[in-house]
Structure 1
Amino acid sequence: MVFWVGALLVGVTSVLFTKAANWAQAVFLHGSQHFWGLPLLLTPAGFVLCAWMAREFFPGSQGSGIPQAIAARHFERSADRHRLLSVKIALGKIFLTIIGLLCGASVGREGPTVQIGASFMLQVARLRGLQHERGLILAGSAAGIAAAFNAPLAGIVFAIEEMSRSFEARTNGLVLYAVIISGLVSLALVGNYTYFGTTSATVTTTLDWVLVLLCGVAGGLLGGLFGRLLLEGTNRAQAWLARQSRMRKLLLPLACGVLVALLGIATQGATFGTGYAQAHSAVAGHALAWYVWPAKFVANLATAISGIPGGIFAPSLAVGAGLGNWLAGFGMKAVSLGAVLGMAGYFAGVVQAPMTAFVIILEMTGNDSNVIPLMVASVLGFGASKLVMKQPLYHALSKNFMPPA
């Protein structure tokens, strides 16, 4: 019963977090459309505020949240796990991610939902003396993904492939039950839906298979490049911050906020927020401007390096959708198909988890007649990414939250 209550809490929190995040993004976009200079004032100030609060009041809440959950599973002592996965950090993560979206940051809520779900399940274990804390972290992470995307299969695959990197018979029952319960909560509160809408675009011609190859290889190389730049940028930023005074540490989020604001103004708001609207439009078959995906790529990178809380899950899918949409425009005209394949190739390249990539995109687009091409694009993206980035991004970032060996 205690476990069920924890899973219910993860589901309810995920749904409420989604509504709050959507509201925050809509408020910012509405304001920026009525006053073009608002981002130049609000975005840098918001970055500074979020980075400062994350460092001073909610240490461990910075960035995506997935590396923290991975790191917590490696700790031997329960107290060390609770240092990264506590109710205080979870609440701070929600609050600061919403503030970030209110200021136009290029962040998603899916990564934070993983840390939130893991934190709640771990707290349940602590209160009631439940065993298998590592398994409960896994279950909370999977439940968070399932509720955030309405993608239960993706939640399970994500837990096995990305979080644990292995099949653990002892804990997979926990993962399954948590995903079912949080998924039922999501269905009850918001109904059944596909995250990016539905598309029936399928690979039928030789030219379409060329597009599969292009999206897989190009997406993987670009995703690997993003991962490498983010990892190196984060490590250098932390080394620089360690030598600075409290006030000088704020220069990094300030500079990142200015860059994100300028990119958003230059692209008429296309790079602000999660990128959901752009990805949804591309999946629906509408051509995006050529500059959207490279600008979103830079905005994602700047936001992630700034140190403010927020995920790269949905923003990465937006980059992949834009890339595939752009590639399909070179004489192929299958822009919807290109968007779906681009998401698979690029996302597999960023996280180096090909099964998670094609399953989550399959569920988010309802494109179940395109399974093999999505698999091919994801595997190609994974292989191409390995040429640029040798280690999975989330696992590499998780080392920043572990004590020195």
Structure 2
Amino acid sequence: MPTLRKRFSNLIHSDHGELFPHEWRRRSGSLLGAVMIGLVALLFAEAADKAQGVFDSMVARWPYSPLVVTPALFVGFAWMTLLVAPAARGSGIPQVIAASRDPDGLLSRGLLGMKTALFKLVVTLGAILGGASVGREGPTVQLGAAIMVGCHRLFGARLTSGVLIAGGAAGVAAAFNTPIAGIAFAIEELASAYEQRVAVLVMGAVMISGLTSQGLAGNYLYFGTLSDPLPVGSALIIAPIAGLAGGALGGLFSRFLLLITRRRREAKSGVFARPLVVALICGVAVGVLGVVTSGATWGTGYAPAKALLEGQDGSVWLGPAKFVTTLATSASGLPGGIFAPSLAVGAGFGKLLAMVFPSESTGAIVLLGMAGYFTGVVRAPLTGVIILSETTGSSGSILPLVLTALIADWSGAQVCKPRLYHALSRDFLPRSEAGDPDIEEKEEERH
């Protein structure tokens, strides 16, 4: 890579100065990065589906194999992550948030290096192959930011926080096939405030990445088409309940995960001081719950969530069991995201809520359950609403979704005040900055 970068540098510079001004080098890096993010995200999605299929085939042939395979892979991948790329652990979104504080320094090189990003991609696929409750969206955000950074460095363009934000947002857009949600995610989660030049860079990268993905995979809906929205009267009753309860449950997940993360960070003795023991315990929990629930908790949770949205019957244990397996997977130290698993937990919660209102559309209530829980975890209501409306084609449910998400954002904050990804980003910052309790407020002022 250094040799290739040097050759490019010779092409764009001459003895008399720059042949191409910085603005053109920045645009070239953004264009190449956005196209590559769309292609890589599509390949990642296909590989994840194949990994899930291989695991499902194994379970169909040997139903109790996850009791051994899942804990073994948890320990193996946790060990590999600690040894090869510690910055690859977890979602990937906190790494981008942390790196944006030092976009052209050692911090971004460690968190967004291609070695880390590619390792994260491979191990996330391995985690899905072992039945872990992980999503590919968070890893795609880190991979997208790494690709965008690499392309800008290739063209010798200056790196800014906006470059990282654009790459991460393009990753969300390509992963869900939802360009508008990518822009919303950049506004709400990756950047605390927005400048006009950053906005143009983000929108351009998101649209190009989304068009690349759609051009190859088609303009599909991630969760399929949802029809039969709730009547206004029913929505005014069910949406606040979904927001209050779903947001509180999402906040509870965040609180538990942050507590476990802090215990692991501060532990000097005991179980939390032994990461491979923690990974083994988490792997056993995921394996046992998966077997007990007949496979309802394996992988991303996309299939059971889609079935519930379509009004099909599903396990009443999906929500509670997926909650525990996603928490266990996240606490194990494995690379992997929580976007898709959180949507699946929300679908399971929506299933339970639909049982209270049997005369209403099950799919529509499940959708509100997903909005409530997801917003409670991520605390990004705009992103949640747009992702769910774009992935289901449910424009008729926008108002109930907005109401649910806004209430869930408040409800989640009452249970867990810190925003999950921003709090987790402290683990990837230098000690002098990580210990600052006002890091999120300072991040907002910096942008």
- State the TM-score bracket (shorter-chain normalisation): over 0.9
Instruction: Give the aligned CA root-mean-square deviation in angstroms.
Output: 1.6
Deviations 1:137-181 (A, max 9, x none): 011001100000000000000001111022221211111111111
Which residue matches 1:26? 53
Does the residue aligned with 1:321 lie in a helix, a strand or coil? helix
AA aligned to 1:310 is G
Q: CA deviation at 1:184?
A: 1.2
Which residue matches 2:188? 161
Runs of 4+, deviation exceeding 6 Å = 244-247
Q: Distance in 1 between matches of 2:379 and 2:227?
A: 26
Q: Distance in 1 between matches of 2:273 and 2:327?
A: 23
Asked if the contact 1:256–1:306 (Cα under 8 Å) also holds between the matched residues in 2, the reply is yes
Matched, 1:307 2:309: no
Asked if the contact 1:287–1:326 (Cα under 8 Å) also holds between the matched residues in 2, the reply is no
Which residue matches 1:330? 356
Q: Distance in 2 between matches of 1:207 and 1:375?
A: 15
Matched, 1:378 2:411: no
Q: Distance in 2 between matches of 1:317 and 1:174?
A: 29
Matched, 1:277 2:303: yes
AA aligned to 2:326 is N
Which residue matches 1:222? 249
User: Relative to 1, partners in 2 of residues 1:184 and 1:245: Cα closer, same or farther, differing over 3 Å?
Assistant: same
Q: Alignment length, in residue pairs?
A: 404
Q: Distance in 2 between matches of 1:208 and 1:6?
A: 42
Q: Distance in 2 between matches of 1:331 and 1:60?
A: 45
AA aligned to 1:178 is A
Q: Distance in 2 between matches of 1:228 and 1:383?
A: 15
Deviations 1:352-377 (A, max 9, x none): 11111101111011000111110000
Which residue matches 1:350? 377
AA aligned to 1:402 is L
Q: Distance in 1 between matches of 2:214 and 2:232?
A: 37
Does the residue aligned with 1:369 lie in a helix, a strand or coil? helix
Question: Which of residues 198, 206, 215 is equivalent to 1:188?
Answer: 215
Asked if the contact 2:179–2:206 (Cα under 8 Å) also holds between the matched residues in 1, the reply is yes
Asked if the contact 1:11–1:182 (Cα under 8 Å) also holds between the matched residues in 2, the reply is yes
Question: Which of residues 140, 149, 154 is equivalent to 1:127?
Answer: 154
Question: Which of residues 69, 73, 76 is equivalent to 2:96?
Answer: 69
Does the residue aligned with 1:200 lie in a helix, a strand or coil? coil
Deviations 1:36-86 (A, max 9, x none): 111011100111111111111112000000000000011265222111001
Q: Distance in 1 between matches of 2:362 and 2:386?
A: 20
Which residue matches 2:277? 251
Asked if the contact 2:264–2:272 (Cα under 8 Å) also holds between the matched residues in 1, the reply is no
Which residue matches 1:232? 259
Asked if the contact 2:141–2:169 (Cα under 8 Å) also holds between the matched residues in 1, the reply is yes
Matched, 1:92 2:86: no
Q: Distance in 1 between matches of 2:300 and 2:272?
A: 29
Percent of paired sites with the same residue: 46
Question: Which of residues 388, 392, 403 is equivalent to 2:419?
Answer: 392
**Unpaired segments ≥5 residues, structure 2:** 1-27, 433-447
Which residue matches 2:322? 296
1:174-213 residue pairs with structure 2 within 5 A?
Answer: 174-213=201-240
Matched, 1:54 2:106: no
Q: TM-score, normalised by structure 2?
A: 0.88
Which residue matches 1:267? 293
Q: CA deviation at 1:94?
A: 0.6
Structure ID, larger Rg: 2
Q: Distance in 1 between matches of 2:86 and 2:280?
A: 19
Which residue matches 1:367? 394
Q: Distance in 1 between matches of 2:241 and 2:313?
A: 17
Q: TM-score, normalised by structure 1?
A: 0.97
Q: CA deviation at 1:263?
A: 0.4
AA aligned to 2:350 is G
Q: Distance in 2 between matches of 1:331 and 1:244?
A: 46
Asked if the contact 1:287–1:335 (Cα under 8 Å) also holds between the matched residues in 2, the reply is no
243-252 vs 25-34, which moves further: 243-252
Q: Distance in 2 between matches of 1:332 and 1:318?
A: 21
AA aligned to 2:123 is L
Q: Distance in 2 between matches of 1:361 and 1:247?
A: 39
Q: Distance in 2 between matches of 1:371 and 1:54?
A: 40
AA aligned to 1:303 is T
Q: CA deviation at 1:243?
A: 4.7
Question: Which of residues 138, 149, 158 is equivalent to 2:165?
Answer: 138
**Unpaired segments ≥5 residues, structure 1:** none
Matched, 1:78 2:105: yes
